[in-house]
Chains A and B, each alone.
Chain A
Amino acid sequence: MDSFWDEEATAETHRNAEWSKISSEFTTSGYREGITAGKESALQEGFDSGFADVGTPIGREVGMLRGTIAAIIAFLSSNLYSDKQESLLAEAQAIGSQLSKIRFSDIAPRDLEAEAHAREHLEMDSDEKMEENEELTAKRNMEGLEDMLARLSADSVAGSGERKLGMEDVKELKWMTGELCKRMGLKVQVESS
């Protein structure tokens, strides 16, 4: 009697196992291919929005400042500039060197959606990690290395610890450039239109 029920039970479990195997097999393979398709469907859209909303305006702002200060430095060191005021040139060079330290990754706004989604992945503790584009990862690693070296040299030269430049610094440097132009008697629009 016992064995009869056992057999029945085994067949039942077997069928259940088979069932869930089929369901999970097909669901999983659908999921996997869905991820790839979904990703490809959205890459361009994401690219375009990142390009137009973040990269372009910030790049233009930083680039214009750098170009402006480069022209000022060139002018102040040329013989076109008659009433030599060394202080102006020194100031322009100081602004220029600060501007050259600006890194996009330090001034770019956070991608909150990306951060939220990365957290979700952490919480789910799933096997699929948030992967990043290889080129960007390489760049990020390089910048991490730069930061480390900067900290090391800051430690050896006590007190001269250099902090990262953020968007506030860009604003300030822009203001300083504007002031410099005024003192040179120039009317120039440093604002990006």
Chain B
Amino acid sequence: MTDETFDETFDLESLIHLEQSFYDAGHSDGFAHGRIHGLIEGRALGREKGFEMWEELGYYEGFALMWQAIYLNQGKGEERAFHHVKHLLEFISQFPRVNPSSADTSADLDIPKLFRQIRSRYKALCSSLGVRPSLRASSEEQGKERSVEDELDAANQKPITKAVWKLEPSSSEEMSF
């Protein structure tokens, strides 16, 4: 019957090929859909991280600028505090405002180190002013806990979180403050 003639001319390779083409069609649809999800989830994470980091840096910046203005206005004050303000503002101006991993130019920039320098300069400013520093500057321990959580997440076969921090080594280092 027709069945037999069909079987004779049917070669295995074209069957495999067929399977492959089904797979490929599914894959490209899935890929497009996955991209949407990746962008959405990535954006959500990036927003949070950017806010978190720059809220802290902005705090130091605003704090330093205000004291600078106060000192200029008063025409007096401790020399050392003014010195700290200058350096603090200088450090902050070096801090990238885009994710370092995407900006090749700042590849040699040591973000965690810069962040540490900013924090300790801020604390030095506070102590020269006799002001109690914000808790932001002492969040090192918090950071450590976080990165452990991240690793747990990754171990928990969660490719999503893992991928972000893996793709972005500088940021995961920042997490380990």
Name A's B-contacting residues (CB within 8 A): 11, 22-23, 25-52, 54-72, 74-75, 78, 80, 104, 108, 111, 113-114, 117, 130, 132-136, 139, 181, 184-190, 192
Contacts and interface: CB of A to CB of B under 8 A. Distances in A.
Contacts of B37: 35, 38-39, 42, 117, 130
Nearest to A109: B47
B140 interface: no
A46 B41 contact: yes
B65 A188 contact: yes
Given A43-B41, A46-B38, A47-B99, A34 B62 contact: no
B35 A42 contact: yes
B27 interface: yes
Contacts of B149: 135
B50 A55 contact: yes
Given A42-B35, A44-B42, A59 B23 contact: no
Contacts of B167: 43-44
Contacts of B36: 38, 42, 113, 117
Nearest to B98: A52
Contacts of A46: 38-46
Interface of B: prevailing SS? helix
B55 interface: yes
Contacts of B52: 55, 59
Which one of A31, A32, A33 has the highest number of Cβ atoms from chain B below 10 Å of its Cβ? A31
Contacts of A108: 47, 51
A68 B43 contact: no
A27 B34 contact: no
Contact of B48 (A33, A134, A136): A136
B163 interface: yes
Interface string B48-59: 111111111111
A42 B44 CA distance: 13
Given A56-B54, A136-B45, 18 more contacts: A29-B23, A30-B28, A31-B33, A41-B35, A42-B38, A46-B42, A47-B99, A49-B39, A51-B50, A55-B51, A59-B55, A61-B58, A62-B51, A63-B58, A64-B58, A66-B55, A80-B74, A132-B44
Contacts of A33: 27, 30
Closest CB pairs A-B (n = 5) = A55-B50, A46-B42, A63-B58, A34-B30, A38-B34
